[in-house]
Structure 1
């Protein structure tokens, strides 16, 4: 994996609102392609929803010789239902051979006519515990995964961007807050007014990350631009008719409709845990400290009668409907 990942450029692509979902996926794939090695292999992105049984939703492939949707359909047809599901519930950044075994990985790639490659690298970006986006490319045997912290941060923003697209947030009329790039509130609901300082800090961090810091220290830039604020809102930019730039804070919860026994923040933390995220990454997902995440998960476990993290996640999944609201793509 190359070191030339434009982390901030990839995050910016995640929040683009224009175009179809296929076009959005194409822009996201193109943004990460240089670091995914698109010079020697296509980079492909597709959406999924395991609970709805959709393993190949919206689709885009970039590179000198992009793969087709049919090739991925053939590759997936080589896997059993259990193997397919495990591929979408494994580590966020992993090799296919680690999920289904080396021989099965090679067999699927050959069935998809993806050349004499021996493995596939995949980055999973969850929008919800059961749906999201996979970005993948074929790699040679013995490939070593590098820069994992950068990639998982990019994945957190891709998931947040997909949630925003599903509710088609793009205009200030639907925003919970409108801010200037400096963080001054121009419009706010009672909830965002109470979170004025947190929103201002997030707006300023976003602008700092997109400035010189993106080149000087990509790790620091991506670490300060978090995917959400207070577990409630994501921030995206918007330009008015005169070209003046504003930042819009939109409600963007990982899991809406918390049960009555849990607070919204507790429910969001549990939902992120159900995506396989560590407490540190959950803090990044939600814009909270790791300590706060630990407290939220402990309280949620006590209220739901769960004795372990595994039991808490199981209880969360048991409360979910058979199929999520909204499109799988």
Structure 2
């Protein structure tokens, strides 16, 4: 077997190549990834972004005929509840048969119609950025398949890095050593030349120095020969903040840079930046273990963070948190805007059953909008310039008027097409 067929690290390296066009970048990822699965045909990769209502395909590359691009493009335009959820979250690695056919049996017929009967299933890898965009890679099959446990584990780890690489590409129009997100610069030997902003603290510099040396070792031949360990040790982010990326200057001198690459949200809704990041990944259906690897922080830190979010938002369970931050949920249909220092929430109406809102006062209706956006009581109080205890009492009054017991029940009630009298 050729060495490149085992080079899982090579796929990650391709994901962090920032200077190429989208088409060249995707083709490079596919060249490295296609030998790894060892089954299926016509490997294809694409980039898309999404809102609760639409999916926009930015670019697609394939090693099959042009028809393979059409298959992926058509798949992304299918509109059912299960398909919408599939492309916006769920497991990072799955087959269509296990993810969709059991939930909506009619999807199998749709897939066969799109592919003129040639395709019965797909092996899919979704690399989510955490900011409403994703890379998807798929192999086609003439029969239904089930990914193995090892395939799910390894491809999920690779997907984490491809999502981080895509997030970097969307954030940086070009990369220089002076780029604002670059917070530490190392030479090819791993010696630190400069650290700034959050990377300037002595303890942080030590963490980054160790990470640069460790990642360089994982990229050496010994690391490539042991992908199980190497993938485990190369977290999605270093210390929950940085991606480690190669940079070559005009003289082709190699530098290693630490680029701040955490998902960013304009409105934290009363949560900390880390809590908002975790909440979004929980909403996509990611487990605490997967989020830990994606953000490069400990499993216990993610567990504690999730508990704090539930407390702040008065959600009784993780299931309620998943539903509340679901990419296709009611909260997601509210677009956050900051105009002249004022935080505004804009949505396409009718978002809710207006007959229910008519039972509320104008103040209570305004508070409902903040609840739908995911704001904690403290954040609502800050924006409305009132006390947190006052907001808590107003929310309880809203619950009583609408016959609900929690925020998640409120969201479900407002989304119902025919609410009970």
Q: Please give the TM-score of this superposition, normalised by the length of structure 2.
A: 0.69
Matched, 1:290 2:309: no
Q: Partner of 2:205 in structure 1? A: 196
Checking the alignment, whether the CA contact within 8 Å between 1:46 and 1:135 is kept in structure 2 is yes
Between the aligned partners of 2:193 and 2:296, the Cα distance in structure 1 is 22
Assess, with a 3 A threshold, how the Cα gap between structure 1 residues 292 and 187 changes in structure 2: closer, same or farther. Answer: same
Q: Deviations over 1:27-55 (max 9, x none)?
A: 222221112347x6111112223316443
Matched, 1:267 2:276: yes
Checking the alignment, whether the CA contact within 8 Å between 1:129 and 1:272 is kept in structure 2 is no
Between the aligned partners of 1:115 and 1:28, the Cα distance in structure 2 is 28
Higher mean Cα deviation, 110-119 or 241-250? 110-119
Matched, 1:229 2:238: yes
Checking the alignment, whether the CA contact within 8 Å between 2:122 and 2:140 is kept in structure 1 is yes
Q: Partner of 2:399 in structure 1? A: none
Assess, with a 3 A threshold, how the Cα gap between structure 1 residues 310 and 12 changes in structure 2: closer, same or farther. Answer: same
Describe the SS at the equivalent of 1:132.
strand
Q: Deviations over 1:112-169 (max 9, x none)?
A: 3365231111111101163211111112424231222111010000100010000125
Q: Deviations over 1:250-309 (max 9, x none)?
A: 121123346263222222222222232221221111111111221222222222222222
The structure having more radius of gyration, on CA atoms, is 2
Q: Partner of 1:161 in structure 2? A: 165
Matched, 1:85 2:84: yes
Matched, 1:219 2:220: no
Between the aligned partners of 1:241 and 1:76, the Cα distance in structure 2 is 40
Q: 2:192 aligns with which of 181, 185, 193?
A: 185
Q: Which residues of 2 match residues 27-176 of structure 1 at below 5 A?
A: 27-37=28-38, 41-51=41-51, 53-76=53-76, 79-88=78-87, 89-101=89-101, 104-113=106-115, 116-128=118-130, 130-146=132-148, 147=150, 148-168=152-172, 170-174=175-179, 175-176=182-183
Describe the SS at the equivalent of 2:94.
strand
Checking the alignment, whether the CA contact within 8 Å between 1:117 and 1:140 is kept in structure 2 is yes
By how many angstroms is 1:211 displaced? 0.5
Assess, with a 3 A threshold, how the Cα gap between structure 1 residues 70 and 316 changes in structure 2: closer, same or farther. Answer: closer
Number of residues of Structure 1 aligned to a counterpart in Structure 2:
321
Between the aligned partners of 1:319 and 1:116, the Cα distance in structure 2 is 39
Between the aligned partners of 1:202 and 1:5, the Cα distance in structure 2 is 23
By how many angstroms is 1:24 displaced? 1.7
Checking the alignment, whether the CA contact within 8 Å between 2:185 and 2:192 is kept in structure 1 is yes
By how many angstroms is 1:56 displaced? 4.9
Assess, with a 3 A threshold, how the Cα gap between structure 1 residues 176 and 215 changes in structure 2: closer, same or farther. Answer: closer
Matched, 1:306 2:315: yes
Gaps of 5+ in 2: 338-421
Checking the alignment, whether the CA contact within 8 Å between 1:106 and 1:118 is kept in structure 2 is yes
Higher mean Cα deviation, 11-20 or 298-307? 298-307
Describe the SS at the equivalent of 1:243.
coil
Between the aligned partners of 1:74 and 1:261, the Cα distance in structure 2 is 39
Between the aligned partners of 1:114 and 1:106, the Cα distance in structure 2 is 12
Q: Partner of 2:263 in structure 1? A: 254
Q: Please give the TM-score of this superposition, normalised by the length of structure 1.
A: 0.86
Between the aligned partners of 2:49 and 2:218, the Cα distance in structure 1 is 31
Assess, with a 3 A threshold, how the Cα gap between structure 1 residues 323 and 121 changes in structure 2: closer, same or farther. Answer: farther
Between the aligned partners of 2:52 and 2:325, the Cα distance in structure 1 is 17
Between the aligned partners of 2:224 and 2:116, the Cα distance in structure 1 is 34
Checking the alignment, whether the CA contact within 8 Å between 2:186 and 2:257 is kept in structure 1 is yes
Describe the SS at the equivalent of 2:126.
strand
Describe the SS at the equivalent of 1:145.
coil
Assess, with a 3 A threshold, how the Cα gap between structure 1 residues 312 and 219 changes in structure 2: closer, same or farther. Answer: same
By how many angstroms is 1:87 displaced? 2.5
By how many angstroms is 1:222 displaced? 1.2
Describe the SS at the equivalent of 2:12.
helix
